[in-house]
């Protein structure tokens, strides 16, 4: 495999605690029904512009919804420095792929600005040729636009390209884009949900990626 496209949250970066705390704080600040930890974890693979409406028990008008997103972003930025971390072996595997001449990308459901900030905070931004955030696409995961943008921009061979992610949305996106897929079991959706999507590969340790 030559081209590796990674999801970020739940795949490279362990941001679950940060996301859960920031989300619950935002809903609570607006006196809304607070989503459970499991609800938040399930929707971590898609943008908050979609997931926050899905998780809301009440109907949200535009003003309230806009305030909810802004409140979440404020809390997330405050929390991320103390709660964001790399999953085991991510740094070593990225370095080995990079040194081997592989081309690495990120397609994430978070905004590009926050994604870049997170990659830089974790000292892995230099490994990636390009990143795609939610604000770079017109259609969110599981739509394949994020992958197809990279395929077109860098003239990638789909037969030599793989999407790696922890959520069913990532596997569905890879299937729709016509590239290989690799589910990782340590993120939000776990082995059973990922296996049901029939990924090309399913791994339980980041180091297994080096054998594919």
pLDDT of residue 45: 80
pLDDT of residue 192: 96
CATH code of the domain occupying 16-83? 1.10.150
User: Is 9 noted as a catalytic residue in this protein?
Assistant: yes
What's the start-to-end Cα distance of the chain, in Å? 7
Beta-bridged to residue 106, according to DSSP, are 6, 131
Report, as ranges of residue numbers, the positions in the chain whose pLDDT lies below 50: none
pLDDT of residue 106: 98
3-state secondary structure of 43: helix
CATH code of the domain occupying 3-14+85-211? 3.40.50.1000
Beta-bridged to residue 107, according to DSSP, are 132
Q: Give the active site residue among 7, 14, 166, 170.
A: 7
pLDDT of residue 159: 98
Task: Give residues with Cβ within 8 angstroms of 123, minimum separation 6.
Answer: 91
pLDDT of residue 69: 96
Location of each CATH 1.10.150 domain in the chain: 16-83
Location of each CATH 3.40.50.1000 domain in the chain: 3-14+85-211
pLDDT of residue 42: 84
DSSP string of 77-119? HHHHHHH-EEPTTHHHHHHHHHHTT-EEEEE-SS-HHHHHHHH
Question: How many angstroms separate the CA atoms of 188 and 65, rounded?
Answer: 24
User: Is 38 noted as a catalytic residue in this protein?
Assistant: no
pLDDT of residue 27: 97
Q: Give the active site residue among 9, 14, 166, 170.
A: 9
């Amino acid at each position: 495999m030559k081209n590796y496209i990674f999801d970020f949250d739940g795949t490279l970066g362990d941001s679950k605690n940060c996301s859960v705390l920031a989300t619950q704080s935002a809903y609570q600040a607006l006196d809304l029904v607070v989503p459970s930890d499991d609800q938040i974890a399930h929707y971590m693979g898609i943008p908050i512009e979609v997931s926050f409406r899905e998780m809301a028990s009440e109907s949200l008008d535009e003003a309230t919804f806009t305030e909810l997103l802004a409140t979440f972003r404020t809390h997330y930025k405050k929390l991320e420095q103390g709660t964001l971390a790399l999953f085991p072996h991510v740094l070593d595997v990225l370095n080995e792929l990079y040194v081997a001449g592989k081309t690495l990308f990120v397609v994430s459901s978070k905004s590009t600005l926050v994604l870049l900030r997170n990659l830089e905070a974790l000292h892995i931004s230099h490994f990636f040729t390009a990143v795609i955030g939610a604000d770079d696409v017109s259609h969110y995961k599981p739509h394949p636009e994020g992958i197809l943008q990279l395929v077109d921009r860098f003239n990638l061979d789909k037969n030599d390209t793989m999407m790696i992610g922890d959520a069913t949305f990532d596997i569905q996106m890879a299937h729709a884009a016509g590239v290989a897929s690799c589910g990782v079991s340590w993120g939000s959706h776990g082995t059973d949900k990922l296996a049901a999507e029939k990924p090309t590969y399913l791994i339980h340790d980041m180091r297994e990626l080096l054998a594919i």
